[in-house]
Structure 1
Amino acid sequence: MTFVALLHAVNLGARRKVPMADLRALLTGLGLREVRTYIQSGNAVFSADPDPALRGRLEAALEAQFGFPVPVTLRTAHGWQEAARGCPAHLRDETVVVAFLRDPPDPERVAALHARDVTPERWEVVGQHLYQTVPDGVRNLRLSAAVIERTLGVGVTVRNERTVQAIAAMLDT
């Protein structure tokens, strides 16, 4: 089975460095197959046997190797392709980012997020993904990953549409 692993908050500053060559070596050393990475923001594609403990194994190995905790969000290739195609039509007229939620959000917490005024941004949760418009640029988001994470109570990592589509293309090869 093919998986996509998204590492949270790596390579953003001087402290949480995870070189992609080291990540590929680590994943290969864990017995994962056909390991590939995409850009420096912690995106890996690999094949592995289905294992409900895979995310925990990855997080433990990453912390042991790099010396700091690295939350991981996993998607199957099928789940990734659904995310790549899942942006609601009414959001597609603007630049969109996708917030990948580690776990399914509680509907009450989604309602609490809806209560926030983040105009001019627009967003929608579809399954374990939050699609969000970026009218004023990523650095100026009112609905930041930290706000999403705090309000929904689930881990979040965000990727831009170009990255989402590039990884989807990697899965097709």
Structure 2
Amino acid sequence: MPAYIALLRAVNVGGTGKLAMSDLREMCEAIGFTHVRTYIASGNVVFESRLGEAAVRQQLEARLEAYAGKPVGVLVRTAEELAAVLKANPFGEAAPDRTVAIFLDTPPAADALSGASGVNSEEMALGPREIYVHYPDGIGKSKLKIAAAKNGTARNMNTVAKLLEMAQA
């Protein structure tokens, strides 16, 4: 059975989108997902399902909207796709806690980075359905805004590696 990783947008970040990870696990189990595990309180869930990626996303988004009373964005990757994201990280020599993959639903446009504002020391690169960003001075000090990333969700490389480890277990 395929292993999936679901990444929720704007959950338990900055006081918005409150969601207990125990509630998220229960929602996933109610849908019929198996071997459900969450990682940290920012909306990361690993599970198995016979459903395809689109159906997994649709069912989880519907359940989350019923729970929250508003849409909650969900980005889904298979374990194989997450392994490819980690392997393709163009900033592999950089500190993993200062490098993120911004996960998107669709491939970013070739010019997705040209409209970025607030660029200082950050480095950016495009992936198949990701935007990679290295923040040498730390993400907390950055003023970087990437319009193409508006509907995405970012995870640092430490989190990506841990989620992959969980999905492969």
Cα distance in 2 between the residues matched to 1:6 and 1:68: 17
TM-score by length of 2: 0.88
* Gaps in structure 1 of 5+ consecutive residues: none
Assess, with a 3 A threshold, how the Cα gap between structure 1 residues 43 and 111 changes in structure 2: closer, same or farther.
closer
The 1:44–1:120 alpha-carbon spacing in structure 2 relative to 1, beyond 3 Å, is same
Question: What CA RMSD, in Å, does the superposition of the two structures yield over aligned residues?
Answer: 1.9
Q: Which amino acid in structure 2 is aligned with residue 75 of structure 1?
A: R
Runs of 4+ in 1 over 6 A off after TM superposition: none
2: CA distance, partners of 1:55 / 1:117: 32
Residues 111 and 137 (structure 1), Cα distance of their counterparts in 2 relative to 1, 3 Å cut: closer
Asked whether the 8 Å contact 1:105–1:154 carries over to 2, the reply is no
Q: Does 1:42 align with 2:43?
A: yes
Displacement of 1:39 after TM fit? 0.5
Query: 2:133 is matched with which residue?
Result: 132
Question: What's the CA shift for 1:153?
Answer: 6.7
TM-score w.r.t. the length of structure 1 is 0.86
2:8 aligned residue: 7
Show structure 2 runs of 5+ residues with no match: none
The superposition leaves residues 12-71 of structure 1 with CA deviations (integer Å, 9 ceiling, x where unpaired) of 133411100000000000011111100000000011113333212211110101223210
Query: Percent identity between the aligned chains?
Result: 35
Which residue does the alignment assign to 1:85?
Answer: 87
Matches within 5 A, 1:12-161: 12-51=13-52, 52-89=54-91, 92-94=93-95, 95-108=98-111, 110=112, 112-113=114-115, 116=117, 118-143=119-144, 147-148=145-146, 151-152=147-148, 155-161=151-157
Within 2, Cα distance between the matches of 1:136 and 1:111? 19
Number of aligned positions between the proteins: 165
What SS does the corresponding residue of 2:115 show, helix, strand or coil?
helix
